[in-house]
């Protein structure tokens, strides 16, 4: 199932792989600002002779045409950084951009996909089909995948595969199970309208702070008391803005939060309940309420065939003990947008190593990866493409 030549090519380019990752880490670019990264990818692909086109405003879609007719498999690597201050300032490749860093591993994803592309390009005459390379911007704000799809990323694609470096798993381990992997992610805002006035005369007012506080305390029962416990969900209030001065009764309150779940019916139910709780809480106090519910990414659900193929490829490439059963996470991923267009799967590659201090949570200022995991990810990209195209002959 695996191609030994790909393994040898990945190993031969391991130093370059590490160098690429460190280059991207030193020069992080946040969502929709990945101009230097996009330019570098284009220049790298030019050097390999792989045709590509830029997407607007950032991002790249490239394609390796196989020497034989067949299906098309897409490999996705995201490339945006975060507005996080790097705390690992002693690293030789620490971020050079104040307030920005690759705190989620997208620098690794881009580097791994480039080296996988380099290896696949070397054996392209043997490929029974085509490999599309998706270098995606703006994953961190869940907009990049939608943009790439709108600009033709999934046209003619039969299967799609993505990887995320995962600090909560031991280095080299691979997890890809059928079914839910990442949760859906929605944003909501609740605006309460009361009646302001002097803090010494509450009887003449409708205190929006009291209304909002009551809502915050009660809305958690949506999850704990109205949803089947077999369907996990998270409802988080992340921000509350209320009042203007210590002695003024607040007239307005704004609450912002997020909803995470895996089940579409659960998602619909929570949206309905947020409206219900907001309106009825406001009614108790004689206030008004308005709810804005913004649907974000859908849950990432791995196709059974594709996930099992990842497991087979990983076992044959790295040994059966490489497989790891990571539980689904309430984190979100816009990879789900690709899965709306074609079957596929999304794998996690472990990079957590306590001896190298790489077990910090994603999005933390001390996040880093064990670079020994890079070759695992690059080879998994390449070997999956090879295995899928050959299985679909």
Apex 25 CA angle, 20 and 30, nearest 5 = 120
How far is CA 114 from each of CA 52, 158, 186, 226, 393, rounded to the nearest angstrom? 13, 21, 32, 47, 26
DSSP state of 329: B
Are 300 and 170 spatial neighbours (Cβ–Cβ below 8 Å)? no
Give the distance, in angstroms, between the CA of residue 279 and the centroid of all CA atoms in the same chain. Answer: 33
Consult the annotation and say whether 364 binds a ligand: no
61 has which bridge partners? 53, 134
DSSP-derived pairing of the beta strands 128-136 and 68-78: parallel
Residue whose pair of structure tokens reads 């206030």 in the numeric block: 287
For 223, the enclosing helix (H) or strand (E) is helix 221-226
Consult the annotation and say whether 276 binds a ligand: no
For 125, the enclosing helix (H) or strand (E) is none
Estimate the share of the chain in helix, then strand, then coil, as percent rounded to the nearest 5.
40, 30, 35
- Please give the Cα distance from 42 to 54 (Å, whole number): 8
Q: Coil, strand or helix: which one is 137?
A: coil
Catalytic residue among 29, 78, 122, 139: 139
Rg (CA), the chain: 24
268 is catalytic: no
Residue whose pair of structure tokens reads 């001065």 in the numeric block: 245
11 is catalytic: no
Are 230 and 292 spatial neighbours (Cβ–Cβ below 8 Å)? no
Consult the annotation and say whether 25 binds a ligand: no
Catalytic residue among 27, 78, 80, 333: 80
Consult the annotation and say whether 231 binds a ligand: no
Consult the annotation and say whether 269 binds a ligand: no
- Please give the Cα distance from 166 to 373 (Å, whole number): 10
The number of residues making up the chain comes to 393
Tokens of 211: 């209304």
Find, among 345, 333, 249, 257, the residue nearest to 305 by Cα. 345
- Residue ranges of the binding site: 104, 106, 140, 164, 363
Which residues are known catalytic residues? 80, 139
- Residue ranges of the binding site for Mn(2+): 104, 106, 140, 164, 363
């Amino acid at each position: 199932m695996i191609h030994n030549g790909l393994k040898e090519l990945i190993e031969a380019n391991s130093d370059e792989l590490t160098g690429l990752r460190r280059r991207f880490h030193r020069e992080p670019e946040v969502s929709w600002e990945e101009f230097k990264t996009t330019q570098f990818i284009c220049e790298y692909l030019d050097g390999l002779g792989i045709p590509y086109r830029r997407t607007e405003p950032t991002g790249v879609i490239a394609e390796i045409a196989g020497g034989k007719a067949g299906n098309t498999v897409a490999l996705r690597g995201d490339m945006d950084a975060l507005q996080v201050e790097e705390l690992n300032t002693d690293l030789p490749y620490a971020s050079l951009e104040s307030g920005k860093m690759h705190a989620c591993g997208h620098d690794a994803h881009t580097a791994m996909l480039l080296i996988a592309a380099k290896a696949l390009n070397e054996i392209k005459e043997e490929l029974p089909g085509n490999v599309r390379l998706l270098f995606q911007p703006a994953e961190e704000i869940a907009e990049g995948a939608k943009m790439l799809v709108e600009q033709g990323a999934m046209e003619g694609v039969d299967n799609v595969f993505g990887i995320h470096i995962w600090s909560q798993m031991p280095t080299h381990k691979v997890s890809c199970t059928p079914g839910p992997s990442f949760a859906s992610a929605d944003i909501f805002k609740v605006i309460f309208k009361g009646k302001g006035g002097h803090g010494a005369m509450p009887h003449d007012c409708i205190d929006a702070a009291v209304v909002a506080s009551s809502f915050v305390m009660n809305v958690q029962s949506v999850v704990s008391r109205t949803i089947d416990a077999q369907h996990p969900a998270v409802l988080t209030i992340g921000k509350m803005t209320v009042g203007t001065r210590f002695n003024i009764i607040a007239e307005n309150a704004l609450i912002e939060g997020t909803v995470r779940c895996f089940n579409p019916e659960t998602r619909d139910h929570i949206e309905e309940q947020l409206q219900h709780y907001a309106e009825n809480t406001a009614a108790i106090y004689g206030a008004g309420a308005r709810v804005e519910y913004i649907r974000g990414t859908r849950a990432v659900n791995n196709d059974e065939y594709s996930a099992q193929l990842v497991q087979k490829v990983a076992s044959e490439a790295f040994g059966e003990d490489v497989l790891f059963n990571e539980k689904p996470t309430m984190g979100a991923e816009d990879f789900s947008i690709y899965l709306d267009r074609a079957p596929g799967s999304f794998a996690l590659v472990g990079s957590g190593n306590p001896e190298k201090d790489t077990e910090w949570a994603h999005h933390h200022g001390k996040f880093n990866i064990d670079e020994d995991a890079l070759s695992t990810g690059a080879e998994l990209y390449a070997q999956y493409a090879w295995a899928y195209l050959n299985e679909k002959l």
